[in-house]
Amino acid sequence: LEEATFQLQQIFRIDISIALNILGIQNMRAGHCRAAFTCFKLAADRGYTKAQFNVGLCYEHGRGTEKDLEKAGFYYCQAAKSHHPMAQYRYARYLLQHGPGSPQDRHHKAVTLLEQAAGAGITEAQAYLGVLYLRGLQPQEKRGVKYLLQAANSGDAQSRYHVGVCYEQGLGVQQDVAEALRHYRQAAATGSRQARERLRA
């Protein structure tokens, strides 16, 4: 009986959190940012991962509350611990730009989170990781191209442009001007200003 009672409490707790998060989304869409933040925060403090991510967004962008990057990082971290892919991406960026600890530790943790998010199909994480591997302190060009191609194949024009640069300069791939032009054309067709400029050059 105690076990059944505990399970019912857990279900009720989760259902309330889901409802609060949905209510928060509806309020945000209606432009009621403060009410949305209140709903997200109530659900987040009950441990609901999606709401924790939404609270992070509110703190990062100052929607419904004061902008506070440290609090945004805290809530992204909570959601990332529960394997929320977009929170992993956001928390990784927070670590690289603002996080506590030594730069080397932050970098290592951020790359691990970015790889998890990229593996879950988050295009932004694939693109960010690709550039990080190409331009990092210890460049790993082949890995960078791999992630940039993943993002490009998901429709990211900027990543497609960077793949073109890799082929033009021979970074992580065999230098191939024809292949570079192909990627530049695709990137330009989907809105990359840099690709259009490169084609003109």
Convert the pLDDT of each residue in 124-153 to its tens digit: 999 999 999 988 766 789 999 999 999 999
Share of the chain above pLDDT 90, in %: 76
Token pair 């109530």 in the structure block, residue: 42
What pLDDT was estimated at residue 148? 96
CATH number for the segment(s) 141-200: 1.25.40.10
Are the C-beta atoms of residues 63 and 35 closer than 8 Å to each other? Answer: no
What pLDDT was estimated at residue 91? 97
Q: What is the DSSP letter of 171?
A: S
d(CA 179, CA 171): 13
For the chain, the average pLDDT equals: 90
Per-domain residue ranges for the chain? 13-120, 141-200
| Number of other CB atoms surrounding residue 159 within 10 Å | 27
Whether 11 has a pLDDT exceeding 70, the answer reads: no
**Measuring CA to CA, which residue among 188, 191, 189, 190 is closest to residue 201?**
188
| pLDDT bucket at 8, cuts 50 / 70 / 90 | very low
d(CA 35, CA 199): 48
What pLDDT was estimated at residue 82? 96
d(CA 134, CA 159): 12
Q: At what angle do helices 85-98 and 123-135 cross, to 10 degrees?
A: 30
What pLDDT was estimated at residue 15? 80
What pLDDT was estimated at residue 4? 52
Chain-centre distance for alpha carbon 175: 30
- Domains 13-120 and 141-200 fall in the same CATH topology: yes
Phi and psi (nearest 5°) for 47? 95, 15
In the CATH scheme, what is the homologous superfamily, with its name and number, of domain 13-120? Tetratricopeptide repeat domain (1.25.40.10)
Q: Per the structure block, which two tokens stand in for 123?
A: 């295009």
**Measuring CA to CA, which residue among 20, 54, 13 is closest to residue 39?**
20
| pLDDT bucket at 98, cuts 50 / 70 / 90 | confident
| pLDDT bucket at 107, cuts 50 / 70 / 90 | confident
pTM: 0.84
**Measuring CA to CA, which residue among 200, 155, 160, 201 is closest to residue 182?**
160
What pLDDT was estimated at residue 45? 93
